Amino acid sequence: MPPAPRAPADSTRFVLLHTSHPGNVGAAARAMKVMGFADLVLVRPRFADVLVQEETVAMASGAADILVRARVVQTLEQALVGIDHACATAMTPRDFGPPTLAPRDHFARLAPLAGAGRQRVALVFGGERFGMANADVWRCHACLSIPTHPGYGSLNLAQAVQLIGYDWRQALGGFDLPASGPAPAQPATMDAVTGALEHWQRVLTQIGFLDPAVPKRLLPRLQQLLNRAALSADEIHILRGIANAVDHALKPELRPQADANLRQ
């Protein structure tokens, strides 16, 4: 029997440069896991033990497995080993270097190869204090800039990881939403709608709202209203129950029959 095929390796690597705050590392790991990514590399973080610090683990909130597998290296060159395409993230365009692009536009071009496992992509994020150095940006193939309000474009590191991770996951096909909520209601049949309309016609005539001699377009308009509402069978029962209640109030002698109708 031939061996079972191996699952494809994670085609995306998140690289964090010179991180200062342990909480951001943990929050970034959480953001990655939410979007289904797991390959995290840190380049010369401020604290050598950042992956096991209490604040890091607390902010990871269930993504401790990503921290356990994460690696710490000394240079961006080491972090990009095995990568085919690297994307820097920088809010300020450089005069020289790779083109600055909106993430979604660039991801649409990258996704077909990466999704097929034929291209490994690195998403590189600068440190909290100084962002990415020019030399690090120049090493990358593209520079991603998240569109923000022109008056304030400062993003927290973990927030940037979440936003970029979401756009990249969507470009790769996204996730299907789980089925939730009640089952769809049974739609009312056309004859049930017609029956409700006839019932309301009788009631509206009784209360003087509809003059059978001069009906104008009231009934066709009610018909269109019911059609647009796309009522369920239960909702038709409610409307007919209201009509029965009106009959009940107008004709005391019909109360026993109206009560029987409501119980049907």
Would you identify the CATH topology of the domain 190-263? Helicase, Ruva Protein; domain 3 (1.10.8)
The values of phi and psi at residue 127, to 5°, are: -70, 165
Q: What is the pLDDT of residues 62-86, one digit of tens each?
A: 999 999 999 999 999 999 999 999 9
pLDDT above 70 (res 214): yes
Its pTM surpasses 0.75:
no
Delimit the domains of the chain by residue range: 12-171, 190-263
Q: Which helix (H) or strand (E) holds 65?
A: helix 64-69
Is residue 8's pLDDT more than 70? no
Rg (CA), the chain: 31
Residues sharing a CB contact under 8 Å with residue 253, sequence separation 6 or more, in sequence order: none
Given a contact cutoff of 8 angstroms between Cβ atoms, the answer to whether 132 and 89 are in contact is yes
Backbone angles phi and psi of 254, in degrees to 5 = -95, 5
Give the percent of the chain with pLDDT over 70: 88
CB 25 within 8 A of CB 16: yes
Is the per-residue pLDDT at 6 higher than 50?
no
DSSP state, residue 263: H
Return d(Cα 55, Cα 68) in angstroms, integer. Answer: 15
CA atoms within 13 A on the CB side of 14: 32
Q: Does the fold of domain 190-263 match that of domain 12-171?
A: no
Share of the chain above pLDDT 90, in %: 51
Range 12-171 classified under CATH 3.40.1280.10: yes
Phi-psi region of 181 (alpha: psi -120 to 50; beta: other; left: phi over 0): left
The pLDDT tens digits for 115-168 are: 888 899 999 999 988 889 989 999 999 999 888 888 887 789 999 999 999 999
